[in-house]
Amino acid sequence: MININFSTAELIYDKTSRMIKTSIQQVVHVYQARSFWFLNISCDGGFECVRNLLSEMGITLYVTSRNEHVPKIEIYIRSVKERVQSIRHTLPLKNYLPRIISEVVYNAVFWLNSFPHTDGVHATTSPRTLLMELAIDYHKLF
């Protein structure tokens, strides 16, 4: 098993099965475009509605029991939340539009994907570079 540690964030407007299916298909497409294939997905009960779609795609869905979590995912969510809170506290606003919060989340995920993980597939190549073939242009960003 390869640990790429690439993460995505999707703004979903409702938790309907159609919206969840579309979001998962987009993520799977990103991986398959680079010849990576999913074997399984671990999630909570909210994703049970896409079990048939995933089985058609050859992906096994592992759903946790009620009130249980997938530890690796929870740690990652905590990392994103910490970064979002840090950015939010630097902004001079009292109320935040949902669009601002979603862009801050996208920014946090962008930077988490931009640096190699210690337990990743490559010691010096970031997950973003592996899957998107986009390296950071330090002259442009800094």
Tens-place pLDDT, residues 38-58:
788 888 888 888 888 888 888
The pLDDT assigned to 2 comes to: 65
Q: Is the pLDDT of residue 115 over 60?
A: yes
Could you say which DSSP state residue 63 is in?
A: E
| Residue-range domain boundaries for the chain | 17-141
Report whether pLDDT(126) > 60: yes
Instruction: Kindly state the helix (H) or strand (E) to which residue 42 belongs, with its residue range.
Output: strand 40-43
The percentage of the chain sitting over the pLDDT mark of 70, rounded to a whole number, equals 98
Give 1-26 pLDDT, tens digit per residue: 567 788 888 888 888 888 888 888 88
Q: Could you please report the per-residue DSSP string of 85-114?
A: HHHHHHSS-SS--HHHHHHHHHHHHHHHHT
**Under 8 Å CB-to-CB from 26, ≥6 apart: which residues?**
8, 10
Residue 24 is predicted with a pLDDT of 86
Domain over 17-141 is classified CATH 2.60.40: no
Mean pLDDT to the nearest integer, 55-64: 88
pLDDT for position 80: 95
- Residue 110 has what pLDDT? 92
Whole-prediction pTM: 0.81
69-98: pLDDT as tens digits: 888 889 999 999 999 999 998 988 888 888
